[in-house]
Chain A
Amino acid sequence: MKLISSALGTLIILLGAVTAWAGEPETSDFGQRFVSQNCSWCHGVALQGYTTAPRLAGQQRQYIEMELMSFKNHVRDNPLSQEVMWGALQRVDGQVARVVAAYISSLDARAANDGNEHLTGSGLAIYRDGDAADNIPACAACHGPEAEGVGAIPRLGGLSYRYLKRRLAEWGEGYHARAAYPMSAVASKLSDDQIEAIASYLSFVK
C-alpha cells in the first residue's frame, strides 16, 4: 500500500502541469525562483536549452516578455507551444512576464554549436545579405550583424540548429507568433537547403 501510494504520489507530482508560483513578483529573487521551479525542467538548469526546448538565457528581454504573454493568450500556436507552453504559462500575467523576462535575459548564453559546420559559409551569406534572386531578405537587417536581435526582435545567435530549423519550417507552414512580421512570408520562401544553411550558421554564432 505504501509503495503504491509512493508511486501514485510521485506520478501526481511529476505529471502536474501546474506552475509552482514562487512567491510575489516584487521579491528580488522571484525571477530566479520562478525559473528554477517552472522552466529549468525542460529548458535546462541554466536555461541553455534541452532537445526541443530552446535556450532562453540571454534572450532579448522584450522578446521573452512578448512570447510569455503570447503563450498565455494562445497566439503562438505551433504544436509544442500548444502541447506544453500553453499549460505551463496559463497563470502568468504581465507583471510576472516582465520580471521573469528581465531575469532570463540577464543570464549568460552558450552557443549550441550543433549545426552542420560545412554550411556556415553559405548560411552566413544568406543571413547577411539575403538572396535577392529568391526574394529572401537579409536576416541581419532586423536581427543584427551578430544575430543579437533588438527590442522585440529575438536573438538568434547560438540557438540550437534543430530549434531554428523547426521554427523556420513552422513559419512556412503558417504557424503564428504575436508580432512576427514578416517571418511567415520570409520563411515560406526559404528552400530546404537555405534553412539548413541558416540554422547551421546561427547555431555557431556566439
Chain B
Amino acid sequence: MGIAGSRTEATRGGIGSVMTLLSPVRSMASAARLVLPACAITVISLGLLIEPTVATAGGMRADQGLQGKTEYCMECHGPSARGFVGYYTMPRLAGQSPEYIRAQLAAFADQTRGTGFYIRLAKVHALNPGLREALANYFGGLNIPSSGSVGSSAGETLYQQGAPEANVPACVACHGPVGRGTGAIPRLAGQLASYTRNQLANWTKERGQESRASDTSAVMIPIANNMSKSQIDSVAAYLSSLK
C-alpha cells in the first residue's frame, strides 16, 4: 500500500504511469505530509466509535470459596498447577505434600518466607486461614503427567549419593528415593528446574528463614550454600525429569 512501493521490473510500467497521473497529489503529499492513508482514517474512525464494555465483575472474582481460590492460584502457578515461568518462576504445586503447602502458606502469612521479593508474597498468598487445608489438599491431590524434560545423570548421582567432599548430603536421605518427599519434607520430583535452581542458589535470600526458622527448612541452609552452580544445575535438571 505504500506509495513508495514496489520497484520491481514487472510492475515498473504500471506503477510508472499511475505515478505520472498522481504527480500533483504526490507533490502535495510530500510538501504537506498531511495526507493520511485511507486505512489509517478507517482505523481511527473505528477506534473512536468503539466503546469497550467491561465485563461486570462476578463469578470467580467474588468467589472467595475454594474454587475461586484454586483458579486464582493457578493463574500464576500454571494450568493444573504445573508451575509457570513468567518473569518470575512460580513453582509446581501439583502433587506437593499438603503439609508442606500448609507450612509455606503460614510462612508467607507471618513473613518468615518471601520478604525479599518485589512482589509481596504475603499479599498475593493472603487468604482465609480456614482455606489453607482445603487448598493444600486440593493441590496435593493433583496428578499431572511428567514434564518430559531432559534429566541429568550427574544430577541423579548427586541426588542419590550426595557430594561428601563438599559436605553435601545425599538428597535421597530426606526427600525419598524418587523425590516424592513426605510430610514436612517437600516433593521435588517434577519441579520446574528454574525454580529448584533459584531456591538452591539463593536459599537464604529466597526463603528468608535463616534466623526465624521454626520448621525443618533450616537444614537446607548449609546444604544449599555448599552446592556449586554446576551441582545445582544438574540436580535441578534431574529432579524436573522425575515423574
Residues of chain A whose beta carbon lies under 8 Å from any beta carbon of chain B: 2, 5-6, 9-21, 36-38, 41-42, 50-53, 79-80, 83-84, 128-130, 132-138, 140-145, 148-150, 153, 162, 165-166, 168-170, 172-173, 181-182, 185-192, 195
Contacts and interface: CB of A to CB of B under 8 A. Distances in A.
A189 B57 contact: yes
- Between A13, A51, A128, A166, the greatest number of chain B beta carbons within 10 A of the residue's beta carbon is seen for A13
Interface string B28-59: 00000000011110111011101011110101
A185 B59 CA distance: 10
B18 A150 contact: no
B166 to A, nearest CB: 33
Interface in B114-133: 118-120, 123-127
A145 B124 contact: no
B141 interface: no
B43 A53 contact: yes
Contacts of A37: 1-2, 4-5
B46 A135 contact: no
Contacts of A18: 1
B129 to A, nearest CB: 13
A54 B239 CA distance: 42
A145 B124 CA distance: 15
Interface string B55-74: 10101111110001101101
A169 to B, nearest CB: 4
B52 A50 contact: no
B83 to A, nearest CB: 12
Contact of A189 (B37, B60, B126, B127): B60
Contact of A17 (B6, B39, B87): B39
Contacts of B4: 20, 36-37
Interface residues of B, number: 54
Given A41-B37, A138-B124, A19 B1 contact: yes
B222 to A, nearest CB: 30
B124 A137 contact: yes
Contact of B43 (A6, A21, A51): A51
Contacts of B24: 6
Contacts of A21: 6
Nearest to B38: A14
A185 B42 CA distance: 31
Given A132-B124, A140-B118, A80 B43 contact: yes
Nearest to A41: B37
B87 A20 contact: no
B121 to A, nearest CB: 9
Contacts of A189: 57, 59-61
A52 B22 CA distance: 29
A43 to B, nearest CB: 10
B20 to A, nearest CB: 9
Contacts of A19: 1
B21 A149 contact: no
B3 interface: yes
B164 interface: no
A75 B86 CA distance: 22
Nearest to B123: A129
A84 B74 CA distance: 34
A61 to B, nearest CB: 16
Given A52-B47, A128-B120, A129-B119, A16 B55 contact: no
9 contacts: A9-B18, A13-B22, A14-B38, A50-B40, A79-B50, A135-B72, A141-B86, A141-B87, A173-B52
A185 B60 contact: yes
B50 A166 contact: yes
Nearest to A53: B43
B110 interface: no
